[in-house]
Protein backbone atom coordinates (compact mmCIF):
# COMPACT_ATOMS: atom_id res chain seq x y z
CA UNK A 1 0.00 0.00 0.00
CA UNK A 2 1.44 3.33 -1.08
CA UNK A 3 -1.17 5.54 0.54
CA UNK A 4 -2.78 6.33 -2.81
CA UNK A 5 -6.13 4.71 -3.56
CA UNK A 6 -8.13 4.63 -6.77
CA UNK A 7 -11.73 3.70 -7.48
CA UNK A 8 -13.08 1.90 -9.29
CA UNK A 9 -10.38 -0.65 -10.01
CA UNK A 10 -12.12 -1.83 -13.16
CA UNK A 11 -14.59 0.03 -15.37
CA UNK A 12 -16.37 -0.93 -18.56
CA UNK A 13 -18.27 1.80 -20.32
CA UNK A 14 -19.92 2.53 -23.63
CA UNK A 15 -18.88 5.40 -25.84
CA UNK A 16 -21.90 7.48 -24.86
CA UNK A 17 -21.53 7.01 -21.11
CA UNK A 18 -20.24 9.51 -18.57
CA UNK A 19 -18.17 8.20 -15.71
CA UNK A 20 -15.60 9.47 -13.23
CA UNK A 21 -12.41 8.01 -11.83
CA UNK A 22 -11.46 8.90 -8.28
CA UNK A 23 -8.08 9.13 -6.61
CA UNK A 24 -7.36 9.83 -2.95
CA UNK A 25 -4.00 10.18 -1.26
CA UNK A 26 -3.38 9.89 2.47
CA UNK A 27 0.22 11.08 2.41
CA UNK A 28 -0.21 14.81 2.92
CA UNK A 29 1.20 15.49 -0.53
CA UNK A 30 0.61 18.68 -2.49
CA UNK A 31 0.88 17.41 -6.07
CA UNK A 32 -1.24 14.84 -7.89
CA UNK A 33 -1.09 13.34 -11.35
CA UNK A 34 -3.07 11.38 -13.91
CA UNK A 35 -1.25 9.01 -16.26
CA UNK A 36 -2.52 6.81 -19.07
CA UNK A 37 -0.81 3.53 -19.89
CA UNK A 38 -2.02 1.58 -22.90
CA UNK A 39 -1.14 -2.10 -23.26
CA UNK A 40 2.63 -2.66 -23.48
CA UNK A 41 3.23 1.07 -23.89
CA UNK A 42 5.02 3.62 -21.70
CA UNK A 43 3.43 5.96 -19.23
CA UNK A 44 1.78 9.03 -20.72
CA UNK A 45 1.45 11.99 -18.38
CA UNK A 46 -2.01 13.55 -18.74
CA UNK A 47 -2.42 16.14 -16.00
CA UNK A 48 -0.46 17.58 -13.09
CA UNK A 49 -1.99 19.45 -10.18
CA UNK A 50 0.09 21.29 -7.62
CA UNK A 51 -1.68 22.84 -4.63
CA UNK A 52 -4.97 22.18 -6.41
CA UNK A 53 -3.98 24.18 -9.49
CA UNK A 54 -3.41 22.53 -12.84
CA UNK A 55 0.21 23.11 -13.82
CA UNK A 56 0.62 20.74 -16.75
CA UNK A 57 -1.80 19.51 -19.40
CA UNK A 58 -0.15 17.41 -22.06
CA UNK A 59 -2.51 17.99 -24.97
CA UNK A 60 -5.15 15.65 -23.66
CA UNK A 61 -8.48 15.46 -25.57
CA UNK A 62 -11.33 17.40 -24.00
CA UNK A 63 -13.29 14.20 -23.41
CA UNK A 64 -11.02 13.83 -20.37
CA UNK A 65 -11.73 16.47 -17.73
CA UNK A 66 -9.76 16.57 -14.45
CA UNK A 67 -10.92 18.03 -11.19
CA UNK A 68 -8.93 18.62 -8.02
CA UNK A 69 -11.24 19.88 -5.26
CA UNK A 70 -8.54 19.68 -2.57
CA UNK A 71 -5.00 18.41 -2.19
CA UNK A 72 -6.13 14.91 -1.19
CA UNK A 73 -8.58 14.18 -3.99
CA UNK A 74 -8.32 14.05 -7.75
CA UNK A 75 -10.98 13.08 -10.26
CA UNK A 76 -10.93 12.30 -13.95
CA UNK A 77 -14.31 12.83 -15.60
CA UNK A 78 -14.87 10.82 -18.75
CA UNK A 79 -17.42 11.40 -21.50
CA UNK A 80 -17.92 10.20 -25.06
CA UNK A 81 -14.76 8.13 -24.96
CA UNK A 82 -13.39 6.09 -27.84
CA UNK A 83 -12.30 2.44 -27.83
CA UNK A 84 -8.67 3.58 -28.12
CA UNK A 85 -9.05 5.23 -24.72
CA UNK A 86 -9.11 1.77 -23.16
CA UNK A 87 -6.06 1.65 -20.90
CA UNK A 88 -4.79 1.55 -17.34
CA UNK A 89 -5.29 4.97 -15.74
CA UNK A 90 -2.86 5.67 -12.96
CA UNK A 91 -2.98 8.32 -10.29
CA UNK A 92 0.14 9.41 -8.43
CA UNK A 93 1.05 11.94 -5.79
CA UNK A 94 4.20 13.63 -4.52
CA UNK A 95 5.14 16.16 -1.89
CA UNK A 96 5.98 18.72 -4.57
CA UNK A 97 5.63 18.45 -8.34
CA UNK A 98 9.31 17.64 -8.81
CA UNK A 99 9.53 15.04 -6.04
CA UNK A 100 9.30 11.24 -5.90
CA UNK A 101 5.91 10.04 -7.05
CA UNK A 102 3.85 7.31 -5.41
CA UNK A 103 1.34 5.52 -7.56
CA UNK A 104 -2.10 4.18 -6.86
CA UNK A 105 -3.15 0.72 -8.10
CA UNK A 106 -4.80 2.10 -11.22
CA UNK A 107 -8.19 1.82 -12.89
CA UNK A 108 -8.44 -0.62 -15.78
CA UNK A 109 -10.80 1.09 -18.25
CA UNK A 110 -12.44 -0.66 -21.18
CA UNK A 111 -14.46 1.38 -23.67
CA UNK A 112 -16.82 -0.65 -25.81
Binding site for other proteins (CB under 8 A): 2, 31, 33, 42-43, 45, 48, 50, 55-56, 88, 90, 94, 96-106, 108
Nearer Cβ to other proteins, position 40 or 84? 40
- We find the least distance from the C-beta atom of residue 110 to other proteins, in angstroms, to be 13
- What gap in Å lies between CA 34 and CA 4, rounded to an integer? 12
- We find the least distance from the C-beta atom of residue 48 to other proteins, in angstroms, to be 5
Nearer Cβ to other proteins, position 16 or 40? 40
User: Which one, of 32, 45, 41, lies nearest residue 96 by Cα?
Assistant: 32
Q: Write the burial class of residue 37 (CB in 10 Å: 0-12 exposed, 13-18 middle, 19+ buried).
A: middle
- We find the least distance from the C-beta atom of residue 94 to other proteins, in angstroms, to be 8
- We find the least distance from the C-beta atom of residue 25 to other proteins, in angstroms, to be 13
The three-state secondary structure class of 30 is coil
The sign of the dihedral angle between the CA atoms of 55, 97, 81, 73 is negative
Q: Quick check: 17 and 112 in contact, CB under 8 A?
A: no
Nearer Cβ to other proteins, position 81 or 89? 89
Amino acid sequence: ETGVTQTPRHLVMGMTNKKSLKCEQHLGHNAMYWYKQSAKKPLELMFVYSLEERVENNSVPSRFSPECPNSSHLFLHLHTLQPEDSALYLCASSQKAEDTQYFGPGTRLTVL
